[in-house]
Amino acid sequence: MSGNPDFDLYRPAEEHEELRAAIRSLAEKEIEPHAADVDEQERFPQEALDALNASGFNAVHVPEEYDGQGADSVAACIVIEEVARVCGSSSLIPAVNKLGTMGLILAGDDALKKQVLPEIAGGKMASYALSEREAGSDAAAMRTRAKADGDDWILNGSKAWITNGGKSTWYTVMAVTDPEKGASGISAFMVNAADEGFGVSKTEKKLGIKGSPTAELYFENVRIPGDRIIGEPGSGFKTALQTLDHTRPTIGAQAVGIAQGALDAAIAYTQERKQFGRAISDFQNTQFMLADMAMKVEAARLMVYTAAANAERGIAPGGQKLGFLAAASKTFASDVAMEVTTNAVQLFGGAGYTRDFPVERMMRDAKITQIYEGTNQVCRMVMARQVLS
């Protein structure tokens, strides 16, 4: 039965497990020792960036023809998951590199890909700029504008909540090019941090993922060469939605990694901590909590991998749309991460509420996975619409 290809779909390939072993070793040696300090000092995890760049794990999704590894979507999720297991902030390096370039990969022309993607594979970072202060889930309400000027475009406006903003070199920026057409008048552009008129005006103070800067960007008459538009004018919103089919599972992977890290810490702590002369892992209520945590982490992991694999193939089983699977995997995994990390803090007791142990950081980091790349409420709307259609 193990040779049946239908069954093989439900387990990672051998190369995926080899990849997991390699990235886990790197994460534990090069990233985990700095995770607490990154959070405490609210500083960018430069050690993680250096380690990921040196090993080629910073952007494994970049196709081989653009100097990348050409790893599949499940492999990208494994990298993000294993980094998130030790440091949520650091996992946003590979995750957002994919988010910031996925629209280009899906809809950009070859010349623009050759201009941007080798730089990302070589160690530069990319970010995704869609949200604005008054246009978050309601992306079609955005105010950032791009007007044609000869062969170029002139960009004006601002973007908010941009992950790794100020650290990235390239930004996929959505802007309105035809206000009369609503969502169909939005276009996507690749903006370089060196473009005149581009800047960072604010960096947020956050509950979690404190090592990953979340910034506000501004554009003051930024001239974008005409060859830096992604696809045709007006296709940007469609590209944004297609991007989410590929990147929502990566947030699910981040959530799974954070949850796994908290579960691992809880297992180790409950086996060492003694009360009433016994390890607290000997008590049935502890065992039931750990069992439920482990069960839900495994379910979330399978759902994330399934969504990633189907996005890679461009198909969905049973007539489902890819958007449903992407939204469902992100929503389920992030809800699991919040539950598991909260329970981990509970199992640590008073110690879990202190910064002496990583589970309180993991609980804070887990919360964001329920919010960004579409709040879980918006993701449920996406799922409901597809179910009802």
Task: Please tell me the predicted confidence (pLDDT) of residue 12.
Answer: 74
Q: How many CA atoms lie within 13 A of 154 on its CB side?
A: 6
One digit per residue, the tens of pLDDT, for the chain of length 389 reads 334 444 345 567 889 999 999 999 999 999 999 999 999 999 999 999 999 999 999 999 999 999 999 999 999 999 999 999 999 999 999 999 999 999 999 999 999 999 999 999 999 999 999 999 998 878 778 999 999 999 999 999 999 999 999 999 999 999 999 999 999 999 999 999 999 999 999 999 999 999 999 999 999 999 999 999 999 999 999 999 999 999 999 999 999 999 999 999 999 999 999 999 999 999 999 999 999 999 999 999 999 999 999 988 876 665 567 899 999 999 999 999 999 999 999 999 999 999 999 999 999 999 999 999 999 999 999 999 999 98
Task: Please tell me the predicted confidence (pLDDT) of residue 9.
Answer: 52
Could you tell me the CATH number of the domain that includes residue 93? 1.10.540.10
Task: Please tell me the predicted confidence (pLDDT) of residue 140.
Answer: 76
Residue 18's identity, in one-letter code, is E
Listed residues 209, 233, 257: the one ending a domain: 233
316 shares its domain with 269 = yes
164 shares its domain with 226 = yes
Other CB atoms within 10 Å distance of the CB of residue 75? 23
| Sign of the dihedral through C-alpha 134, 137, 140, 145 | positive
Q: Residues 5-25, buried b or exposed e (16+ Cβ, 10 A)?
A: eeeeeeebeeebeebbebbbe
Task: Give the separation between CA 389 and CA 377, rounded to whole angstroms.
Answer: 18
375 shares its domain with 246 = yes
357 shares its domain with 243 = yes
229 shares its domain with 241 = no
Task: Please tell me the predicted confidence (pLDDT) of residue 320.
Answer: 66
Token couple for 203: 């960096």
Task: Please tell me the predicted confidence (pLDDT) of residue 11.
Answer: 67
- How many domains is the chain built from? 3
Residue 363 three-state SS = helix
Task: Give the separation between CA 345 and CA 261, rounded to whole angstroms.
Answer: 12
Other CB atoms within 10 Å distance of the CB of residue 168? 26
Task: Please tell me the predicted confidence (pLDDT) of residue 138.
Answer: 84
Question: Cβ contacts of residue 107 below 8 Å, gap of 6+?
Answer: 188, 230, 231, 235, 239, 242
* Nearest alpha carbon to residue 335 among 290, 304, 361, 358: 304
101 shares its domain with 174 = no
Task: Please tell me the predicted confidence (pLDDT) of residue 389.
Answer: 86
Task: Give the separation between CA 108 and CA 190, rounded to whole angstroms.
Answer: 10
* Nearest alpha carbon to residue 325 among 255, 131, 333: 333
155 shares its domain with 254 = no
Residue 83's identity, in one-letter code, is V
Task: Give the separation between CA 104 and CA 231, rounded to whole angstroms.
Answer: 8
Listed residues 233, 268, 290: the one ending a domain: 233
By residue range, what is the domain housing residue 130? 126-233
Task: Please tell me the predicted confidence (pLDDT) of residue 2.
Answer: 39
Residue 80's identity, in one-letter code, is I
Chain centroid to Cα 259, Å, comes to 15
Q: Is 44 left (phi over 0), alpha (psi -120 to 50) or beta?
A: beta
* Nearest alpha carbon to residue 141 among 153, 149, 132, 128: 132
- State the catalytic residues: 373
Task: Please tell me the predicted confidence (pLDDT) of residue 3.
Answer: 42
Listed residues 121, 137, 162: the one ending a domain: 121
225 shares its domain with 252 = no
37 shares its domain with 71 = yes
368 shares its domain with 260 = yes
